[in-house]
Structure 1
């Protein structure tokens, strides 16, 4: 059975975007980007909410130029090769290949995807991930802590949810970012 992985880059105080919606402070350098690519390589399906999907479409609609850094070209290829499911009540249609649109997040449908998938699934974006966390679907948390405190904005973790986690791995990067990989503890949500 495949797992559902929630991956995010976040500030030390737990935000994925500041109060103006900016996240330029979280742009990964080449070392971190290459590491993210290796994590992404193991996943076959990406689940997105509308806003995250719209941000990510650039990897297909405006792929990196041939002279762009190798890690960016690699990520674009990985993203284009993955299946994508977008959950949105307002998006009229999807604009990328290998993508389907779902109007409602259905935990049972995601459980079925996990049972039948050959590779892990990624969930992106805090609002969609909150639904998955509340439904007990998140098996693994991959967090990239950015060495910055931004004081407010879009929170990474949903309110009203408790989860016990087991540390699986950690890694420090030259730019000061820290990667923490956790598994949801049995009976931990």
Structure 2
């Protein structure tokens, strides 16, 4: 059975994007990129909403990668090796390999995918992550908290959902970012 992991870069005040939709403050340095590479190595299937998929599909293209560091090129290889499921009512089609489009988010289908998976799964994007949290599907939460306050924007974690979390791992990076990895233990009391 696969573990469903919600993973995100977040500002210290809890946002994945600032008020203008920018997340340039979370571009990883080599050390943080290496962490994300290691994390993604264990993901067999990534679940995305439309916006996150549109952001991530750049990894399918080799043209811009030629002059990038090895750690960046390695991430592209890892991303391409995983299956991807895009949940969108508005996206006309998907343009990347190993990708399928689902028009609705079906919690039962995600549960079945977890039950039959031999690798872990990830859910990417705050909106789809909130859906997965609301349906009790998320098993782990991995946050890289960046040393920046953006003052508002898209929240990294869902509003209106109370969960009990157990700290599994924490560590700092040289750029001041901090990894926080939690197991989701159920509704908070």
TM-score (normalised: structure 2): 0.97
Deviations 1:72-124 (A, max 9, x none): 10000011111000000000100000000000000000000000011000000
Equivalent position of 1:82 in the other structure: 82
Q: Distance in 1 between matches of 2:18 and 2:151?
A: 8
**1:104 maps to 2:104:** yes
Q: Is the 1:17–1:155 contact (alpha carbons within 8 Å) kept by the matching residues of 2?
A: yes
Does the CA-based 8 Å contact 2:87-2:101 persist in structure 1? yes
Distance 2:6 2:41 in 1: 15
Corresponding position of 2:22: 22
Q: Is the 8 A contact 1:21 1:153 kept in 2?
A: yes
CA RMSD of aligned residues (A): 1.2
How many angstroms apart in 2 are the aligned matches of 1:64 and 1:188?
45
Give the 3 Å change call, closer, same or farther, for CA 179–63 of structure 1 in structure 2: farther
Q: Distance in 2 between matches of 1:54 and 1:63?
A: 17
Q: Is the CA contact 1:8–1:144 (under 8 Å) kept in the aligned structure 2?
A: yes
In structure 2, the residue matched to 1:139 is: 139
Secondary structure of the residue aligned to 1:136 is coil
Gaps of 5+ in 2: none
Q: How far has the Cα of 1:65 moved from its partner?
A: 2.7
Runs of 4+ in 1 over 2 A off after TM superposition: 61-67, 186-189
Distance 1:81 1:104, change over 3 A: same
Number of the residue aligned with 1:175 = 175
Quote the offset at 1:186 in angstroms: 4.6
Q: CA deviation at 1:157?
A: 1.2
* Alpha-carbon displacement from aligned partner over 1:26-78 (angstroms, at most 9, x marks no partner): 11100000011000001100000000000000000355433311111000001
Q: How does 1:1-189 map to 2 (within 5 A)?
A: 1-62=1-62, 64-186=64-186, 188=188
Cα deviation for residue 158 of structure 1 reads 1.1
Inter-partner Cα distance in structure 1 for 2:6 and 2:137? 10
Ranges in structure 1 where 5+ consecutive residues have no aligned partner: none
The answer to whether the 8 Å contact 1:64/1:76 transfers is: no
